[in-house]
Chain A
């Protein structure tokens, strides 16, 4: 993300915070014991300060810091707020507002005097001084005004005096000389002006509704155009088609955020984990300007944190170990995003130790995740995939950072949930690359429609490899499953009917389940339609009754109470108004190949 855009986002947030602070202060002034308001103010100032510091706006950060200190005292109930303090606080807030405005025009607002005064307030608060006793609240207004004229000419002097006072251990009476902040703001018009941000904040739920509506519109469009085609009036609808498509992509565009929003958070995470582990790690970011759907980013953000933490705590070696291996003492982690058609590829690359396939093999056997025979047949690359199995954790010592045996399986599940894929490349001693391929938008995906048992289903094209038609004689029973060959390769085949007709899980575990429909086919010559899908680099053939067309669908998740239905990732509404279920190829593959089933 470039600096200018960050600045715009900061400004939008800062202005919102400023408005909110003004509101809360007014609220607090009316009822000084309002704890909620105090807490909210503290929180907002804290965030504002943090953001400003990150952006390098030291003036705002500095004032924010003091205000935060003051409110932390107020929160603790150390002081009672008086109208005197409020006057000063309001001025401080105004100053913050000026500073925020100043950023837009690159104008620095002097703030030292204010800072000094806030310090004095804080000092007094800490000294448990009653301000009311030293100053009558009522009269200060007048005195302020009277002093305005005098002080306007003595700004510099005043500032020095304030600074001096600030460092004076004696409690300073708040009020006359200090409360009157020198009014650099001679331009009264400017003060009264109400400004609006160029950004509108919209709750995500509203965007979701909008996207749903556009989705329905797109379905309706398809229906009308299909209808029109039968009357031979397709041209009439070209405009409708174009406008709805444009609308759809615009709405999808609104939901896109730059990946930098997520990546930039990792500077801190990497630093913290590295410090904890006594390692030195450099983080590099690439492709932060790539855009991705906000919901996709949200769903995978925890997984990203996990991957990066793992890379630091398990991947990168300690400085000593690295030196021994002839590497630089600092480890490197690169987060790289790139886009590939409908997909965004996010890579987490470290130059650490890599994943040791031998250790994984040992662990797999210990945890009884596979039989020794199956394991020995697997290549190292396949073995590494076991880290995504539930309950697998390869590091012996559990640290506070990562490795409680939960994690990598959760990462895989999150990636599956958004219809993405995860790949691992690892070279022992040189490092590991996790690459996540995620849909840039969750809304529209191309899918292949087919029929099983007179019910329409869809499968995303991202999974499908080919559609083939074979004779029954080309399919063979092997063990409890079925296989056929496709492009010289042997692939597993399953009749979707067999699993869809099951009423419960027990039936799913019947040993000869996958032979059921196959056995019912009498003639060897019958054509069998197979959709070949690729899941985790494994090919599976799904036998369907009939193939329909290829279509852009808008997948919606199933809600409660069927949100966890097996083998189904969601549903879409077709042009005819029917609901069409979207197949979860990952889940089916898991069912087919999960060790318990394979070894029954």
Chain B
């Protein structure tokens, strides 16, 4: 993967010109004295969510999605992204948030993984944010999940007035979720 714009630590929007072409999100780790993490921030419903940059491969305009029968409703289907067939996940559906994302006009975050072939729908091109580790609250026990699924919430980032929920994309898709897919 290309490492363009090294150390470009900003919360500004990704250059507008790049929106049409896939944006390469992988940058080198910020090397400041204080340990910082680069977080990709995107809106889901009325909340801001964040993913660690190393879990994301690229951002593309949402391609045409082919529905797959008998999959959970948050699996929107599969799509062709650069010759790879990826499952398209709608996290707003998964987290039961207000539906703000359009399947035909939004963007798709491609997840970097050997195990999973998937991508998640987002409304706008996401921002990158460099966050000091001290700004991440790793003990969000406040978020009690009745199903005991809070595993995927990695931490809460509080910067100024913003509250960003840092999630682990690979923990979101659990075996429990896949059961209806597996069939009887």
Contacts and interface: CB of A to CB of B under 8 A. Distances in A.
Interface of A: 212-213, 215-216, 455-456, 499-505, 508-509, 556, 558-562, 564-568, 571, 573, 577-581, 596
Contact of A503 (B68, B73, B118, B182): B73
A500 B78 contact: no
14 contacts: A213-B83, A455-B67, A500-B69, A504-B70, A505-B184, A559-B86, A561-B75, A561-B87, A564-B178, A565-B71, A566-B183, A571-B78, A580-B66, A596-B184
Given A556-B85, A573-B83, A579 B69 contact: no
B58 to A, nearest CB: 17
Contact of A578 (B66, B118, B177): B66
Given A500-B70, A561-B118, A581-B68, 6 more contacts: A455-B66, A558-B117, A560-B118, A562-B71, A564-B182, A579-B79
Contacts of A504: 70, 180
Contact of A559 (B63, B80, B85): B85
B14 interface: no
Given A216-B83, A573-B85, A562 B68 contact: yes
Nearest to B86: A559
A456 B83 CA distance: 18
Contacts of A509: 184
A97 B136 CA distance: 59
Given A571-B78, A573-B80, A559 B70 contact: no
B72 to A, nearest CB: 8
B181 interface: yes
Given A502-B70, A577-B80, A578-B80, A559 B178 contact: no
A504 B72 CA distance: 8
Contact of B183 (A562, A564, A579): A564
Contact of A505 (B67, B75, B180): B180
Contacts of A503: 70, 73
Interface of A: prevailing SS: mixed
Contacts of A560: 87, 115-118, 173
A177 to B, nearest CB: 57
Interface string B1-23: 00000000000000000000000
Q: How large is the interface on B (under 10, 10 to 19, 20 to 34, 35 or more residues)?
A: 20 to 34
B64 A578 contact: yes
Contacts of A565: 68-71, 181
A56 to B, nearest CB: 42
The 10 nearest A-B residue pairs measured at CB: A559-B117, A500-B69, A579-B66, A561-B173, A566-B183, A562-B87, A216-B83, A560-B116, A566-B70, A573-B80
Given A212-B83, A455-B67, A499-B69, A564 B181 contact: yes
B85 A558 contact: yes
Interface in B125-184: 173, 177-178, 180-184
Contacts of B183: 505, 564, 566
A561 B67 CA distance: 14
A215 B82 CA distance: 12
A572 B69 CA distance: 16
Most buried by B among A558, A565, A571, A578: A565
A213 B63 CA distance: 20
B69 A562 contact: no
B66 A561 contact: no
Contacts of A556: 85
Contacts of B70: 499-500, 502-505, 508, 565-567
B21 to A, nearest CB: 16
Nearest to A562: B87
Interface string B63-103: 11011111101010111100101110100000000000000
Contacts of A558: 68, 78, 85, 87, 117
Nearest to A571: B85
Nearest to A500: B69
A561 B69 contact: no
Nearest to B184: A505
A566 B85 contact: no
Contact of A566 (B64, B66, B69, B73): B69
B134 to A, nearest CB: 34
A484 to B, nearest CB: 23
A560 B67 CA distance: 15
Contacts of B180: 504-505
B61 to A, nearest CB: 13
B66 A562 contact: no
A502 B184 CA distance: 14
Contact of B181 (A212, A213, A562, A573): A562
B63 A561 contact: no
Contact of A579 (B78, B181, B184): B78
Contacts of A500: 69-70
